[in-house]
Amino acid sequence: MNRIRSAFENGKAFIPFITCGDPDLETTAKTVREAVKNGADLIELGIPFSDPTAEGPVIQGANIRALAGGVTTDKIFDLVRDLRADVKIPLVFMTYANVVFSYGSERFISTCREIGIDGLILPDLPFEERDEFLPTCRKYGIALIPLIAPTSENRIAMIAKEAEGFIYVVSSLGVTGMRSEIKTDIGAIVKVIRENTDIPCAVGFGISTPEQAAKMSALSDGAIVGSAIIKILEKYGKDAAPYVGEYVRSMKEAM
């Protein structure tokens, strides 16, 4: 049984996103462990890519810094091997289809299984093209996690019926980043999801404050936060881990 379900068993799930290698892999490892210690239920690990089309300037900056520091997919695999010595919560990779293709899909996904990755999020992979990766993901027990956006409308039911792991509900149009308010009718999207699957759903894009996390997780099964965490890493650099831990604790408590 895939570990992802367990993330949603202690109330609402708090899911931090961390770009691997920003500012370096050692800091990433410390930050992940601090996040776990402070209540993170599942962690999204970003594999940097040179053209991260779904990301706003904050996470784009993290991608650029990580790549400039010499991070590679193989080094990130080694990072996860190290984390899995003591990190028991679900871990999923978030990256772009090209990263998986260029590494070799079978090789990439089989390595995910070997190192203890539970799922894969590819924001630039349209639902209709997921068969490029789905058979291999199923072969190795890796959940290919779908995204549902405000524009999905009449496709929400179809995507929900086929979903694995959890559903990433995109709160806002555009790219990732902190927003002062979220205007999408998340409740209406979640209602359609609930009518079609019992797979949990978590809301991401634009969540940065405890109040937003509480509001979004009240409507769904959890909240995903990326840019606000990357900003802490950008501010404190190699000393960021305890500050991220404090932030994770405040968000989890709010939920």
- The CATH architecture annotation of domain 3-254 reads Alpha-Beta Barrel (3.20)
pLDDT the model gives residue 154: 86
Q: 186 and 219 in contact (C-beta within 8 Å)?
A: yes
* Cα–Cα distances in angstroms (integers) from residue 31 to residues 72, 77, 230, in the given order: 19, 16, 11
Q: Where are the domains of the chain?
A: 3-254
pLDDT tens per residue, range 126-177: 999 999 999 999 999 999 999 998 888 889 999 999 999 999 999 875 444 4
pLDDT the model gives residue 176: 47
**Mean of the pLDDT values across residues 178-202?**
82
pLDDT the model gives residue 77: 98
Longest dimension (CA), the chain: 46
Give the pLDDT band of residue 207 (cuts 50, 70, 90): confident
pLDDT tens per residue, range 208-221: 899 989 999 999 99
Q: 181 and 211 in contact (C-beta within 8 Å)?
A: no
pLDDT tens per residue, range 13-30: 999 999 999 999 999 999
What is the percentage of the chain residues whose pLDDT exceeds 90? Answer: 75
**Interatomic CA distance for residues 150 and 128, integer angstroms:** 17
